[in-house]
Chain A
Amino acid sequence: MSRRPPDAPADAVEAYLDRLLVTLNGTPRQIRYTLAEVEAHLRDAVAEGVAAGLPEPAAQAQAVARMGPVDGVAGRVPALGRPSLALARRLVLTAALVGGAGFAAVGGAGLIARFLASVKGNEFMTAPWPPGAYTRADCARWLAGDPGTHSCVTAMLYDHVGDFLLEATAAGLLGVLALAAYLALRQRWRDRATLAALPAGTAQALGAVLAGVAAVACLGAAIDNEMIQHGIGAGEAWSLGTAAAVTAALFALALRRALRAGPPGRAGRAGGAALG
Protein backbone atom coordinates (compact mmCIF):
# COMPACT_ATOMS: atom_id res chain seq x y z
CA MET A 1 0.00 0.00 0.00
CA SER A 2 1.35 3.39 -0.90
CA ARG A 3 2.02 5.83 1.89
CA ARG A 4 0.67 9.37 1.68
CA PRO A 5 3.04 12.28 2.00
CA PRO A 6 3.60 13.08 5.69
CA ASP A 7 1.61 16.31 5.61
CA ALA A 8 -1.30 14.99 3.55
CA PRO A 9 -4.62 15.82 5.18
CA ALA A 10 -7.34 13.36 6.16
CA ASP A 11 -5.01 10.45 6.83
CA ALA A 12 -6.54 9.04 9.98
CA VAL A 13 -3.68 6.60 10.56
CA GLU A 14 -1.01 9.31 10.39
CA ALA A 15 -3.05 11.54 12.67
CA TYR A 16 -3.47 8.69 15.15
CA LEU A 17 0.27 7.97 15.13
CA ASP A 18 0.97 11.67 15.72
CA ARG A 19 -1.31 11.69 18.75
CA LEU A 20 0.25 8.49 20.03
CA LEU A 21 3.75 9.91 19.64
CA VAL A 22 3.05 12.80 22.01
CA THR A 23 1.21 10.55 24.46
CA LEU A 24 3.64 7.68 24.90
CA ASN A 25 5.87 7.59 27.94
CA GLY A 26 9.11 5.68 28.12
CA THR A 27 12.57 5.60 26.69
CA PRO A 28 13.09 6.69 23.07
CA ARG A 29 13.52 3.02 22.12
CA GLN A 30 10.28 1.95 23.82
CA ILE A 31 8.46 4.77 22.06
CA ARG A 32 9.93 3.85 18.67
CA TYR A 33 9.07 0.18 19.12
CA THR A 34 5.50 0.85 20.19
CA LEU A 35 4.96 3.26 17.30
CA ALA A 36 6.32 0.72 14.83
CA GLU A 37 4.08 -2.02 16.25
CA VAL A 38 0.98 0.12 16.21
CA GLU A 39 1.66 1.42 12.71
CA ALA A 40 2.06 -2.14 11.36
CA HIS A 41 -1.15 -3.09 13.16
CA LEU A 42 -3.07 -0.16 11.69
CA ARG A 43 -1.74 -0.80 8.18
CA ASP A 44 -2.83 -4.45 8.48
CA ALA A 45 -6.27 -3.39 9.65
CA VAL A 46 -6.59 -0.87 6.81
CA ALA A 47 -5.53 -3.52 4.27
CA GLU A 48 -8.15 -5.86 5.72
CA GLY A 49 -10.82 -3.18 5.40
CA VAL A 50 -9.83 -2.33 1.84
CA ALA A 51 -9.83 -6.03 0.94
CA ALA A 52 -13.36 -6.22 2.35
CA GLY A 53 -14.42 -3.49 -0.08
CA LEU A 54 -14.17 -0.33 2.02
CA PRO A 55 -12.70 2.85 0.49
CA GLU A 56 -9.31 3.60 2.06
CA PRO A 57 -10.47 6.59 4.16
CA ALA A 58 -13.28 4.49 5.63
CA ALA A 59 -10.89 1.59 6.21
CA GLN A 60 -8.51 3.96 8.01
CA ALA A 61 -11.29 5.36 10.16
CA GLN A 62 -12.42 1.85 11.05
CA ALA A 63 -8.87 0.73 11.91
CA VAL A 64 -8.36 3.76 14.15
CA ALA A 65 -11.72 3.28 15.85
CA ARG A 66 -10.93 -0.37 16.55
CA MET A 67 -7.53 0.57 17.98
CA GLY A 68 -9.23 2.78 20.59
CA PRO A 69 -7.98 5.92 22.34
CA VAL A 70 -4.23 6.55 22.35
CA ASP A 71 -4.28 6.50 26.14
CA GLY A 72 -5.16 2.81 25.91
CA VAL A 73 -2.10 2.08 23.78
CA ALA A 74 0.06 4.14 26.13
CA GLY A 75 -1.23 2.07 29.02
CA ARG A 76 -2.65 5.08 30.78
CA VAL A 77 -6.05 5.43 32.30
CA PRO A 78 -7.47 8.80 31.24
CA ALA A 79 -7.75 10.56 34.57
CA LEU A 80 -9.78 13.65 35.23
CA GLY A 81 -8.63 15.80 38.08
CA ARG A 82 -5.47 13.74 38.66
CA PRO A 83 -2.30 15.50 37.59
CA SER A 84 -0.42 13.26 35.23
CA LEU A 85 3.16 12.29 35.80
CA ALA A 86 4.07 14.20 32.65
CA LEU A 87 2.46 17.38 33.97
CA ALA A 88 4.13 16.96 37.36
CA ARG A 89 7.49 16.55 35.65
CA ARG A 90 6.92 19.59 33.49
CA LEU A 91 5.95 21.67 36.53
CA VAL A 92 9.12 20.55 38.33
CA LEU A 93 11.16 21.55 35.26
CA THR A 94 9.41 24.92 35.09
CA ALA A 95 9.96 25.58 38.80
CA ALA A 96 13.61 24.56 38.55
CA LEU A 97 14.20 26.81 35.53
CA VAL A 98 12.36 29.88 36.82
CA GLY A 99 13.50 29.48 40.42
CA GLY A 100 17.06 28.69 39.42
CA ALA A 101 17.23 31.69 37.10
CA GLY A 102 15.76 33.90 39.83
CA PHE A 103 18.30 32.84 42.43
CA ALA A 104 21.11 33.07 39.88
CA ALA A 105 19.95 36.62 39.10
CA VAL A 106 20.27 37.53 42.78
CA GLY A 107 23.79 36.11 42.62
CA GLY A 108 24.42 38.32 39.59
CA ALA A 109 23.08 41.28 41.55
CA GLY A 110 25.72 40.49 44.16
CA LEU A 111 28.45 40.80 41.55
CA ILE A 112 27.00 44.13 40.34
CA ALA A 113 26.77 45.30 43.94
CA ARG A 114 30.38 44.32 44.56
CA PHE A 115 31.42 46.45 41.57
CA LEU A 116 29.24 49.41 42.62
CA ALA A 117 30.54 49.24 46.17
CA SER A 118 34.15 49.32 44.95
CA VAL A 119 33.42 52.32 42.71
CA LYS A 120 30.98 54.39 44.74
CA GLY A 121 31.50 53.17 48.27
CA ASN A 122 29.37 51.38 50.84
CA GLU A 123 27.23 54.47 51.53
CA PHE A 124 25.86 54.25 47.99
CA MET A 125 24.92 50.63 48.53
CA THR A 126 22.87 50.89 51.71
CA ALA A 127 21.59 53.71 53.87
CA PRO A 128 22.87 53.82 57.46
CA TRP A 129 20.38 53.21 60.22
CA PRO A 130 19.25 56.41 61.94
CA PRO A 131 20.76 57.21 65.35
CA GLY A 132 18.81 55.47 68.07
CA ALA A 133 17.98 52.48 65.89
CA TYR A 134 21.01 50.59 67.13
CA THR A 135 22.73 49.99 70.44
CA ARG A 136 26.30 50.34 71.70
CA ALA A 137 26.53 46.55 71.55
CA ASP A 138 25.62 46.65 67.85
CA CYS A 139 28.29 49.26 67.33
CA ALA A 140 30.89 47.21 69.15
CA ARG A 141 30.01 44.15 67.04
CA TRP A 142 30.28 46.12 63.78
CA LEU A 143 33.58 47.69 64.80
CA ALA A 144 34.96 44.27 65.67
CA GLY A 145 34.13 43.17 62.14
CA ASP A 146 35.86 46.19 60.57
CA PRO A 147 39.01 46.88 62.55
CA GLY A 148 40.19 49.42 59.98
CA THR A 149 37.80 52.13 61.19
CA HIS A 150 36.72 53.80 64.43
CA SER A 151 33.42 55.08 62.96
CA CYS A 152 30.36 53.12 64.00
CA VAL A 153 28.46 54.21 60.86
CA THR A 154 31.30 53.15 58.54
CA ALA A 155 31.53 49.77 60.29
CA MET A 156 27.74 49.41 60.13
CA LEU A 157 27.72 50.01 56.36
CA TYR A 158 30.62 47.59 55.90
CA ASP A 159 28.69 44.97 57.86
CA HIS A 160 25.41 45.50 56.03
CA VAL A 161 26.98 45.47 52.58
CA GLY A 162 28.93 42.36 53.55
CA ASP A 163 25.67 40.68 54.62
CA PHE A 164 24.04 41.59 51.32
CA LEU A 165 26.98 40.27 49.29
CA LEU A 166 27.10 37.06 51.35
CA GLU A 167 23.37 36.44 50.93
CA ALA A 168 23.55 37.22 47.21
CA THR A 169 26.44 34.79 46.79
CA ALA A 170 24.49 32.06 48.62
CA ALA A 171 21.44 32.72 46.44
CA GLY A 172 23.60 32.60 43.33
CA LEU A 173 25.06 29.23 44.31
CA LEU A 174 21.56 27.93 45.03
CA GLY A 175 20.47 29.17 41.61
CA VAL A 176 23.37 27.44 39.87
CA LEU A 177 22.48 24.20 41.64
CA ALA A 178 18.82 24.54 40.64
CA LEU A 179 19.76 25.22 37.02
CA ALA A 180 22.11 22.23 37.02
CA ALA A 181 19.25 20.11 38.36
CA TYR A 182 17.00 21.52 35.64
CA LEU A 183 19.48 20.56 32.90
CA ALA A 184 19.94 17.07 34.34
CA LEU A 185 16.19 16.50 34.69
CA ARG A 186 15.51 17.86 31.22
CA GLN A 187 17.93 15.30 29.79
CA ARG A 188 16.22 12.58 31.80
CA TRP A 189 12.63 13.57 31.06
CA ARG A 190 12.73 13.93 27.28
CA ASP A 191 9.55 11.99 26.59
CA ARG A 192 6.98 13.69 24.39
CA ALA A 193 4.28 13.62 27.03
CA THR A 194 6.41 15.74 29.37
CA LEU A 195 7.34 18.12 26.56
CA ALA A 196 3.70 18.58 25.60
CA ALA A 197 2.25 18.77 29.12
CA LEU A 198 2.28 22.59 29.09
CA PRO A 199 2.06 25.01 26.15
CA ALA A 200 5.29 26.02 24.47
CA GLY A 201 7.13 28.81 26.25
CA THR A 202 5.22 28.54 29.54
CA ALA A 203 8.35 28.59 31.69
CA GLN A 204 9.88 31.43 29.69
CA ALA A 205 6.71 33.53 29.87
CA LEU A 206 6.45 32.98 33.61
CA GLY A 207 10.11 33.84 34.10
CA ALA A 208 9.84 36.97 31.94
CA VAL A 209 6.79 38.23 33.85
CA LEU A 210 8.24 37.57 37.32
CA ALA A 211 11.65 39.02 36.46
CA GLY A 212 10.00 41.98 34.73
CA VAL A 213 7.89 42.78 37.79
CA ALA A 214 10.96 42.48 40.03
CA ALA A 215 12.95 44.75 37.69
CA VAL A 216 10.27 47.44 37.66
CA ALA A 217 9.91 47.33 41.45
CA CYS A 218 13.65 47.42 42.18
CA LEU A 219 14.52 50.03 39.55
CA GLY A 220 11.56 52.14 40.70
CA ALA A 221 12.84 51.95 44.26
CA ALA A 222 16.33 52.89 43.09
CA ILE A 223 15.08 55.92 41.14
CA ASP A 224 12.91 56.95 44.07
CA ASN A 225 15.94 56.69 46.33
CA GLU A 226 18.04 58.79 43.93
CA MET A 227 15.39 61.51 43.89
CA ILE A 228 14.61 61.63 47.61
CA GLN A 229 17.86 60.58 49.33
CA HIS A 230 20.25 61.63 46.55
CA GLY A 231 21.37 58.05 45.94
CA ILE A 232 22.33 57.17 49.48
CA GLY A 233 21.51 53.47 49.83
CA ALA A 234 20.30 53.09 46.24
CA GLY A 235 23.03 50.63 45.22
CA GLU A 236 21.29 47.43 46.34
CA ALA A 237 18.11 48.36 44.48
CA TRP A 238 20.11 49.31 41.36
CA SER A 239 22.01 46.01 41.39
CA LEU A 240 18.90 43.90 41.99
CA GLY A 241 16.90 45.85 39.39
CA THR A 242 19.63 45.57 36.78
CA ALA A 243 20.00 41.81 37.30
CA ALA A 244 16.23 41.37 37.17
CA ALA A 245 15.98 43.40 33.94
CA VAL A 246 18.71 41.33 32.30
CA THR A 247 16.96 38.12 33.42
CA ALA A 248 13.61 39.36 32.08
CA ALA A 249 15.24 40.18 28.73
CA LEU A 250 16.86 36.73 28.52
CA PHE A 251 13.55 35.05 29.32
CA ALA A 252 11.81 37.20 26.71
CA LEU A 253 14.36 36.14 24.06
CA ALA A 254 13.95 32.50 25.07
CA LEU A 255 10.16 32.90 24.88
CA ARG A 256 10.37 34.26 21.36
CA ARG A 257 12.60 31.34 20.35
CA ALA A 258 10.22 28.84 21.94
CA LEU A 259 7.19 30.30 20.20
CA ARG A 260 8.98 30.26 16.86
CA ALA A 261 10.00 26.63 17.43
CA GLY A 262 6.36 25.60 17.77
CA PRO A 263 4.48 23.26 20.08
CA PRO A 264 6.55 21.01 22.32
CA GLY A 265 6.83 17.49 21.01
CA ARG A 266 6.32 18.46 17.37
CA ALA A 267 9.97 17.87 16.70
CA GLY A 268 12.96 16.95 18.79
CA ARG A 269 14.82 20.24 18.67
CA ALA A 270 11.64 22.21 18.75
CA GLY A 271 10.55 20.44 21.89
CA GLY A 272 13.87 21.12 23.57
CA ALA A 273 13.78 24.76 22.62
CA ALA A 274 10.20 25.14 23.70
CA LEU A 275 11.02 23.80 27.11
CA GLY A 276 13.92 26.16 27.39
Chain B
Amino acid sequence: MRSEKLKGHLDLLLLSVLSRGPGHGYEVITRLRDRSDGAFELPEGTVYPALHRLEEAGLLASAWAAVAGRRRRIYRLTPAGEAALAEQAEQWREFSGSVTRVLGMPPAVARPRMAVPEVTA
Protein backbone atom coordinates (compact mmCIF):
# COMPACT_ATOMS: atom_id res chain seq x y z
CA MET B 1 0.00 0.00 0.00
CA ARG B 2 1.28 3.48 -0.84
CA SER B 3 2.65 5.32 2.14
CA GLU B 4 0.45 8.38 1.38
CA LYS B 5 -2.67 6.24 1.92
CA LEU B 6 -1.21 4.67 5.02
CA LYS B 7 -0.31 7.93 6.72
CA GLY B 8 -3.95 8.85 7.32
CA HIS B 9 -4.37 5.71 9.38
CA LEU B 10 -0.95 5.53 10.97
CA ASP B 11 -2.09 6.61 14.44
CA LEU B 12 -4.70 3.84 14.56
CA LEU B 13 -2.20 1.27 13.33
CA LEU B 14 0.44 2.28 15.86
CA LEU B 15 -2.03 2.24 18.74
CA SER B 16 -3.21 -1.16 17.61
CA VAL B 17 0.31 -2.56 17.33
CA LEU B 18 1.19 -1.29 20.79
CA SER B 19 -2.03 -2.65 22.28
CA ARG B 20 -0.41 -6.09 22.00
CA GLY B 21 2.38 -5.01 24.32
CA PRO B 22 5.04 -2.34 24.80
CA GLY B 23 7.77 -2.03 22.19
CA HIS B 24 10.49 0.20 20.77
CA GLY B 25 10.40 1.83 17.36
CA TYR B 26 12.03 -1.01 15.45
CA GLU B 27 9.71 -3.54 17.08
CA VAL B 28 6.71 -1.41 16.17
CA ILE B 29 7.77 -1.34 12.52
CA THR B 30 8.49 -5.07 12.52
CA ARG B 31 5.11 -5.90 14.06
CA LEU B 32 3.35 -3.60 11.61
CA ARG B 33 5.07 -5.28 8.68
CA ASP B 34 4.45 -8.80 10.00
CA ARG B 35 0.81 -8.25 10.90
CA SER B 36 0.09 -6.75 7.48
CA ASP B 37 1.94 -9.57 5.72
CA GLY B 38 4.28 -6.96 4.32
CA ALA B 39 1.44 -4.94 2.75
CA PHE B 40 2.14 -1.79 4.79
CA GLU B 41 5.34 -0.27 3.50
CA LEU B 42 6.22 3.24 4.50
CA PRO B 43 9.51 4.97 5.21
CA GLU B 44 10.32 3.60 8.64
CA GLY B 45 11.50 6.97 9.90
CA THR B 46 8.01 8.43 9.61
CA VAL B 47 6.92 6.26 12.53
CA TYR B 48 8.95 8.32 15.00
CA PRO B 49 7.19 11.69 14.58
CA ALA B 50 3.90 9.79 14.87
CA LEU B 51 5.01 8.03 18.07
CA HIS B 52 6.20 11.33 19.53
CA ARG B 53 2.96 13.04 18.56
CA LEU B 54 0.89 10.29 20.19
CA GLU B 55 3.01 10.56 23.32
CA GLU B 56 2.49 14.32 23.44
CA ALA B 57 -1.23 13.70 23.12
CA GLY B 58 -1.07 11.40 26.15
CA LEU B 59 -2.05 8.29 24.18
CA LEU B 60 1.38 6.70 24.62
CA ALA B 61 3.98 6.79 27.37
CA SER B 62 7.64 5.97 26.95
CA ALA B 63 10.61 5.00 29.09
CA TRP B 64 14.22 4.23 28.28
CA ALA B 65 15.53 0.74 28.87
CA ALA B 66 18.54 -1.32 27.82
CA VAL B 67 17.46 -4.09 25.45
CA ALA B 68 19.94 -6.42 23.74
CA GLY B 69 22.80 -4.14 24.67
CA ARG B 70 21.25 -1.02 23.18
CA ARG B 71 19.44 1.84 24.85
CA ARG B 72 15.83 1.80 23.66
CA ARG B 73 12.84 3.99 24.10
CA ILE B 74 9.99 1.65 24.92
CA TYR B 75 6.47 2.86 24.13
CA ARG B 76 3.30 1.59 25.76
CA LEU B 77 -0.34 2.43 25.47
CA THR B 78 -1.86 4.62 28.19
CA PRO B 79 -5.48 4.24 29.35
CA ALA B 80 -6.30 7.27 27.16
CA GLY B 81 -4.59 5.49 24.28
CA GLU B 82 -6.67 2.36 24.86
CA ALA B 83 -9.85 4.46 24.78
CA ALA B 84 -8.71 6.26 21.63
CA LEU B 85 -7.87 2.94 19.99
CA ALA B 86 -11.33 1.56 20.75
CA GLU B 87 -12.99 4.68 19.39
CA GLN B 88 -10.87 4.86 16.23
CA ALA B 89 -11.22 1.14 15.57
CA GLU B 90 -14.99 1.46 15.76
CA GLN B 91 -14.93 4.44 13.41
CA TRP B 92 -12.76 2.45 11.00
CA ARG B 93 -15.11 -0.54 11.08
CA GLU B 94 -18.07 1.72 10.29
CA PHE B 95 -16.20 3.49 7.52
CA SER B 96 -14.75 0.41 5.88
CA GLY B 97 -18.11 -1.38 6.13
CA SER B 98 -19.83 1.53 4.41
CA VAL B 99 -17.25 1.65 1.63
CA THR B 100 -17.51 -2.10 1.15
CA ARG B 101 -21.30 -1.90 0.87
CA VAL B 102 -21.09 0.97 -1.63
CA LEU B 103 -18.65 -1.01 -3.75
CA GLY B 104 -20.99 -3.98 -3.63
CA MET B 105 -18.29 -6.29 -2.38
CA PRO B 106 -18.75 -9.08 0.17
CA PRO B 107 -17.46 -8.19 3.63
CA ALA B 108 -13.79 -8.99 4.00
CA VAL B 109 -12.91 -11.99 6.07
CA ALA B 110 -9.73 -11.89 8.05
CA ARG B 111 -7.21 -14.32 6.62
CA PRO B 112 -5.86 -16.84 9.13
CA ARG B 113 -2.13 -16.40 9.77
CA MET B 114 -1.57 -20.18 9.57
CA ALA B 115 -3.42 -22.83 7.68
CA VAL B 116 -5.47 -24.99 10.03
CA PRO B 117 -5.81 -28.59 8.86
CA GLU B 118 -9.34 -29.84 8.66
CA VAL B 119 -10.20 -32.60 11.07
CA THR B 120 -12.33 -35.28 9.50
CA ALA B 121 -14.33 -37.69 11.49
Residues in A lying within 8 Å of B, measured CB to CB: 30, 33-34, 36-38, 40-41, 43-45, 66-70, 72-75
Contact = CB atoms under 8 A, between A and B. Distances in A.
Interface in B61-101: 70-73
Contact of B44 (A33, A34, A41): A41
Interface residues on B, range: 10 to 19
Interface of A is mostly: helix
Contact of A75 (B44, B49, B72): B49
A70 B45 contact: yes
Contacts of A34: 48, 52
Q: Which 10 A-B pairs have the closest CB atoms?
A: A68-B43, A75-B49, A73-B45, A72-B46, A67-B45, A44-B26, A72-B45, A41-B26, A68-B45, A40-B70
Contacts, number: 56
B22 interface: no
Interface of B: 24-26, 29, 42-46, 48-49, 52-53, 70-73
Given A44-B70, A68-B42, A72-B49, 12 more contacts: A37-B25, A37-B72, A38-B48, A40-B26, A40-B70, A41-B26, A41-B29, A43-B70, A45-B26, A68-B45, A72-B43, A74-B49
A5 B47 CA distance: 29
Nearest to B67: A40
